[in-house]
Amino acid sequence: MAIKRNFASSEDMTEINISPLIDMVFILLIFFIVTTVFVEEDGMEVSRPEPSAVQTMEKDSINFELRGTQVLMNGKNIGLGAVRAQVSRLIQGQDLPVIITVGEEASAGLLVRVIDESRLAGAKNVSLAGS
Amino acid sequence: MKSRKSLGDSEELKEINISPLIDMVFILLIFFIVTTVFVEEPGVEVQKPKAASIKDLEKNSILIAITAKGEIVFGGGQIGIGGIRPTVRRLCAQEKLPVILQVDESAPGALVVRAIDEAKLGKARAVFISANPI
């Protein structure tokens, strides 16, 4: 009856010593506090045109071209401010894709702003094409 | 000498009861374990573009930065345009993660398009461009 005797003798202790447990929990807590970073990333999704969309690129889509600081539509410089008006005029509830062709000189800031304006005008499908 | 007397009274307690403290520490521990995501940050400062049509992005994603000079930075080191595809493929091997591009406002647009292409070819679930609200 070794086990029984052990139980009997351990009953002399009134409490289990939990201080090592608490030490360990504190160390874990400090580790997680130190390593946690609360990254808040906001952003927009970007996509490339589907292969099928490239074939119908000419007629059933709205095309913009970025060249330097200019925004071109059908070869004419319309500027950033006119993007929203043009997209909302042409889209009219349909699900037309907007395709943005990015030239070498265009900056990423302009690209993001054109995508943003198209989205605000109601375009659901905005995709990018390299020059 | 009211305070003295109360000190004398408290000497009858042999130990301070620390179980509420331990409860609280456990709750904090669980909170930090649950909220921690180990994301590798690129480690460069970029001037993010501003946009209105933005949404909150998933925390657990691959962060790649493109600086104004056209450097592509991941995990504290430059990887170059050719390094995006193997990096994304390696990290997406087990679980498909989205890629977030932290693009500088004056980074070349053509490079951004190429980086999106490379990330897609590396089997990223989706590609996002990070932006600040207006």
Q: Determine the residue among B47, B53, B102, B128 to mutate to test chain A binding: the one whose Cβ has the most chain A Cβ atoms within 10 Å.
A: B53
- pLDDT value at residue A2: 47
pLDDT confidence band for A126 (50 / 70 / 90)? confident
**A69, A27, A51, A12: which is closest to B25 by C-alpha?**
A27
C-alpha to C-alpha distances, B61 to A41, B24, B95, B102, nearest whole angstrom = 10, 31, 11, 12
Distance from CA of A46 to the nearest CA of B (A): 6
Interface test with B, best of A19, A41, A118 (most B CBs within 10 A): A41
Tell me the CATH architecture of domain A51-130: 2-Layer Sandwich (3.30)
Q: What is the pLDDT of residue B15?
A: 74
Burial B87-121 (b: 16+ CB within 10 A, else e): bbeebbeeeebbbbbbbbbbbbbbbbbbbbbbbbe
For residues A47 and A119, give the distance between their C-alpha atoms in angstroms, rounded to a whole number. Answer: 13
- What value does the mean pLDDT take over residues A27-39? 85
Q: What is the mean pLDDT of chain B?
A: 83
Looking at residues B90-119, what average pLDDT do you find? 88
Question: Does any CB of chain B come closer than 8 Å to the CB of residue A51?
Answer: no
> Tokens in use for B78?
């430059």
Q: Residue A27: its pLDDT value, please?
A: 92
Nearest CA in chain A to B30: A29
Tell me the chain B residues in contact with residue A47 when contact means C-beta distances shorter than 8 Å: 127
**Chain A interface includes B72 (CB < 8 A):** no
Model confidence over B109-133: pLDDT tens digits? 888 888 888 888 888 888 899 888 8
Instruction: Please answer yes or no on whether A25 and B22 come within 8 Å at the CB atom.
Output: yes
| Mean pLDDT value of segment B63-70 | 89
Q: How far is A35 from chain B (nearest CA, A)?
A: 8
Separation between Cα atoms, residue B34 and residue B56, nearest integer Å:
19
pLDDT at B1 over 50: no
